[in-house]
C-alpha cells in the first residue's frame, strides 16, 4: 500500500476560516481529495491570486500622493476623512481643531 503524501500546508498555522474551508472540503469529498483541493487553493493564494484590487482606492491614493509631493497637503497624526459629496470627494481633517 503506498504511503499518503503529506499535505502542502500545516493545519496548526491555518486561520479559522481556512480550517472551516478545509473541514468542509473533507466532509464533502473525503479526506484525500479534500486535502489535495485545499493544498491547490493555498498554493493559488500564495501566487497572489487573492482577488481584485480596488481601483477607486488606488486612484485616491495616487491623487493624494501627488498633492503630498507638491506640498499642497500634509497628513497630520489624526489623518483625513474622505466622504462622498454630490459629484465630488470631500476631504476633512480629523482630530482636534
- Kindly report, residue by residue over 6-47, the tens digit of the pLDDT: 567 788 888 899 999 999 999 999 999 999 999 998 888 777
Domain membership of residue 27 (yes or no) is: yes
Q: What is the pLDDT of residue 37?
A: 92
Structural domains of the chain, count: 2
Q: Calculate what percentage of the chain has a pLDDT beyond 70.
A: 86
Domain membership of residue 3 (yes or no) is: no
Q: What is the DSSP letter of 83?
A: E
Q: What is the pLDDT of residue 31?
A: 92
Please tell me the pTM assigned to this model: 0.45
Domain that holds residue 73: 55-93
* DSSP string of 13-46, one letter each residue: G--HHHHHHHHHHHHHH-HHHHHHHHHHHHHHHH
Q: What is the pLDDT of residue 71?
A: 86
Quick one: average pLDDT of 56-81? 83
Let me know whether 62 and 84 are in one domain: yes
Evaluate if residue 52 carries a pLDDT over 80: no
CA dihedral defined by 35, 37, 41, 42, rounded to 10 degrees?
Answer: 20
Let me know whether 42 and 15 are in one domain: yes
Let me know whether 16 and 35 are in one domain: yes
Residue that the C-alpha cell 473541514 belongs to: 23
Amino acid at each position: 500500500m503506498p504511503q499518503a503524501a503529506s499535505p502542502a500546508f500545516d493545519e496548526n498555522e491555518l486561520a479559522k476560516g481556512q480550517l472551516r474551508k478545509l473541514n468542509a472540503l473533507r466532509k464533502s469529498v473525503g479526506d484525500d481529495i479534500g486535502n489535495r483541493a485545499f493544498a491547490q487553493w493555498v498554493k493559488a493564494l500564495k501566487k497572489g491570486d487573492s482577488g481584485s484590487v480596488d481601483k477607486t482606492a488606488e486612484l485616491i491614493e495616487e491623487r493624494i500622493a501627488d498633492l503630498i509631493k507638491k506640498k499642497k497637503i500634509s497628513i497630520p497624526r489624526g489623518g483625513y476623512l474622505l466622504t462622498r459629496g454630490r459629484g465630488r470627494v470631500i476631504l476633512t481633517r480629523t482630530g482636534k481643531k
